[in-house]
Amino acid sequence: MAEPLRIALAGLGTVGAGVIRLLDQNRELLTARAGRPLDVVAVSARDRSKDRGVDLSRFAWEDDMTAMAARGDVDVVVELVGGSDGPALTLARNAIRAGKGLVTANKAMIAHHGMELAEAAEGANVALRFEAAVAGGIPVVKGLREGASANAIEQIYGILNGTCNYILSTMEDSGADFGETLQAAQELGYAEADPTFDIEGIDAAHKLAILAGIAFGARIDFASVDCAGVSRVRAQDIAQADALGFVIRLIGRADIDTSTGEARLFQRVQPCLVDKEHPLAAVDGPTNAVVAEGNYVGRLLFQGAGAGDGPTASAVVADLIDIARGDAGTPFSVPAATMVPMAKADTGHRMGHNYIRFTVTDRPGVLAEITAAMRDAGVSIESLIQQGKPEEGGEVLVAMVTHEGPESAVTEALRLLDGSDSLTAEPLVMPILEA
């Protein structure tokens, strides 16, 4: 049998410990599939004494994880520490420079530094793999790089954050508002103590930028991702969407816009109303799902657990198996040097239906002011609903669904209403995703 693939593992949280358990439990199966044993030889974490439920005494311990890249008994470094910069990035750079393969679950690092790392890995002729960085255990990176490689991908979109999906689908089931649902998600471990990256869409934006790079051969441009989260979604929005035949999901979408004659990259994360007949509408709980539409294969749906020790460890070990086989390939389907920078797409001409919710003072004339702004901006209203009783006083919610029209018209209508004393909060706009 071939020599083992020798692995150094940085980060022994739930995923790192899960990787060790998976390698132990499925050892014979993995050896058969990889053609050689997968052996951890060194580990590193902040706290050496912490009980992680796995036997670490058989591995060498490195207090400085960045030193693992220099070990002569290591072929591949697995980075599970996280963070776009700092020790994780130093370790990644050192590993590639030392001729080691690199496997990471670090979406932020790949979104911010993926092009640099890919170019370095290709120059050093070593593997860089990051299946676990996008959608947990779902093999969407491999699916796009390999399974759909014969296709021009026309668009890619999906549910890329399990925390937000859990919150929104729980709000559907319970009727509770955002704040109390977030607190419950934190108590169950579905949301971090500081949930900002999740609920404001940043985590999903990292993943979308990576997927866009793979799907379209565009250099990763995280800074150009338009990003809005779910913290402003109310229980009334959920109820109104349901009455209209929709559910609300945080959707990341990317495509290539050629309307100006030049290929430009559209990337956006925001809550959307999703038709109940659409496959994404049935995705609930802490689940991820990605839709890719190819010019020959049609619509592909990748769905499964987007986080957790088991699914993420599964993705990490799948990358290790590929490296052990010598099947690493280029990180982004095509050589990094051939990936082209694309300007950010203008969005004013994009056509669609929208749900718009206004929070307004309860007084005469407010509705007329809103509809006048819509008329003057050229927005055609399909339906309009006022939520709240006049006798209650205080604020009232006014929601509308627009006919199909350009995004620029909605933007202009909101500009006309900007600064109005009638509005007590910024309007919430959610595009409608048809079946």
What is the rounded CA–CA span in Å between residue 430 and residue 70?
A: 50
From first to last of its 435 residues, what are the pLDDT tens digits of the chain? 689 999 999 999 999 999 999 999 999 999 999 999 999 999 999 988 888 889 999 999 999 999 999 999 999 999 999 999 999 999 999 999 999 999 999 999 999 999 999 999 999 999 999 999 998 889 999 999 999 999 999 999 999 999 999 999 999 999 999 999 999 989 888 888 899 999 999 999 999 999 999 999 999 999 999 999 999 999 999 999 999 999 999 999 999 999 888 999 999 999 999 999 999 999 999 899 999 999 999 999 999 988 888 999 999 999 999 999 998 789 998 999 999 999 999 999 999 999 999 999 988 889 999 999 999 999 999 998 877 655 455 788 999 999 999 999 999 999 999 999 999 999 999 999 987
Instruction: Decide: 349 and 259 in contact? Cβ < 8 Å.
Output: yes
Where does residue 85 rank: exposed (0-12), middle (13-18), buried (19+ CB within 10 A)? exposed
- What tokens were used for 106? 């670090």
- What tokens were used for 233? 């979604």
Active site includes 207? yes
Q: What residue ranges define each of the domains in the chain, with the CATH number in brackets?
A: 5-133 (3.40.50.720), 140-306 (3.30.360.10), 351-433 (3.30.70.260)
What is the rounded CA–CA span in Å between residue 176 and residue 370?
A: 28
pTM: 0.94
Beta bridge partners of 40: 7
- What tokens were used for 386? 């006022």
The residue annotated as part of the active site, out of 207, 276, 344, 389, is 207
Question: Strand 76-79 to strand 5-10: parallel, antiparallel, or no bridges (unpaired)?
Answer: parallel
Instruction: Decide: 250 and 286 in contact? Cβ < 8 Å.
Output: no
CA distances from 307 to 5, 229, 254, 403 (A): 26, 19, 22, 37
Task: Give the HSE-up count for residue 239: Cα atoms under 13 Å, Cβ half-sphere.
Answer: 12
